[in-house]
A and B are shown apart, each in its own frame.
Chain A
Amino acid sequence: GIQVEQSPPDLILQEGANSTLRCNFSDSVNNLQWFHQNPWGQLINLFYIPSGTKQNGRLSATTVATERYSLLYISSSQTTDSGVYFCAVSNTNAGKSTFGDGTTLTVKP
């Protein structure tokens, strides 16, 4: 099956700093999503982005499908951005996603 690698595994920032999270995948995909799991465990869908670039407030994401990677940018980080960020991909029409191991982000005040 498709392999998903996320980097870095852990990231510690001061409030206000910017960061870039990366997701590499081993095969072509028809579905790529970024999720944020908050400290209480709830998974929030940040972006559905199989290709191209999208922005939502301080967050943006870019997927370069031909080169099999996606980037999640967080600008002016806040303590509420802390948690685990997951990349999930699919290359079938069955809708099921394979998740990467995640990046654990800690934003310090």
Chain B
Amino acid sequence: SAVISQKPSRDICQRGTSLTIQCQVDSQVTMMFWYRQQPGQSLTLIATANQGSEATYESGFVIDKFPISRPNLTFSTLTVSNMSPEDSSIYLCSGSGTGGSKQYFGPGTRLTVT
């Protein structure tokens, strides 16, 4: 199994600013993902974080708004840029082995934009 930590656990930010969320895994994982969960809703995949190359974004999410880095197999960052109140959400980091294995989640970062 993998233990995933995220920083910060929560933040309140002003409109127009940016926040970078860090994700650390305690062991090497093949795949890392970033999800968003809006209040009372399910999880929506933002992107797959690829080691040493550009992330793969899902429909509706773009690199300019959500730049992602993954410099090695255990660490990734997600930046939420030029924030608006609509970006208020929980952002979750996830890791797994190859396609046929269990997926683990961090505790989430609760973001409120005022």
Q: Given A41-B90, A45-B102, A90-B99: A95 and B108 within 8 A (CB)?
A: no
Task: Return chain B residues, CB-CB under 8 Å to A21.
Answer: none
- Chain B interface, DSSP helix/strand/loop, else mixed: strand
Q: How far is the CA of A41 from the CA of B72 in the complex (A)?
A: 27
- Chain A interface, DSSP helix/strand/loop, else mixed: loop
Q: How far is the CA of A90 from the CA of B33 in the complex (A)?
A: 14
Any B CB within 8 A of the CB of A58: no
Any A CB within 8 A of the CB of B96: yes
Q: How far is the CA of A40 from the CA of B105 in the complex (A)?
A: 13
Interface centre among B42, B92, B107 (most CB of A within 10 A): B42
Q: How far is the CA of A19 from the CA of B48 in the complex (A)?
A: 35
A42 to chain B, nearest CB (A): 5
B33 to A43, Cβ gap below 8 A? no
Look across to chain A and name the residue whose beta carbon is closest to the beta carbon of B30: A95
Q: How far is the CA of A93 from the CA of B31 in the complex (A)?
A: 11
Q: Given A41-B108, A95-B30: A33 and B102 within 8 A (CB)?
A: yes
Q: Write out, one digit per residue, whether chain B residues 34-66 have a CB within 8 A of any chain A CB (1) or not (0).
A: 000000011111001000000000000000000
Any A CB within 8 A of the CB of B103: yes
> Which A58-109 residues have C-beta < 8 A from chain B?
86, 88, 90, 92-102
B87 to chain A, nearest CB (A): 17
Q: How far is the CA of A48 from the CA of B97 in the complex (A)?
A: 12
A100 to chain B, nearest CB (A): 7
Task: Return chain A residues, CB-CB under 8 Å to B110.
Answer: 41
Any B CB within 8 A of the CB of A30: yes
Can you list 6 A-B contacts (CB < 8 A)? A50-B100, A94-B31, A95-B97, A99-B44, A101-B41, A102-B42
**The 7 A-B residue pairs with the shortest CB-CB distance in the complex, in nearest-first order:** A93-B99, A43-B105, A95-B31, A48-B102, A95-B99, A99-B43, A99-B42
List chain A positions with a Cβ less than 8 A from chain B.
30-31, 33, 35, 40-43, 45, 48, 50, 86, 88, 90, 92-102
List chain B positions with a Cβ less than 8 A from chain A.
30-31, 33, 41-45, 48, 90, 92, 96-105, 107-108, 110
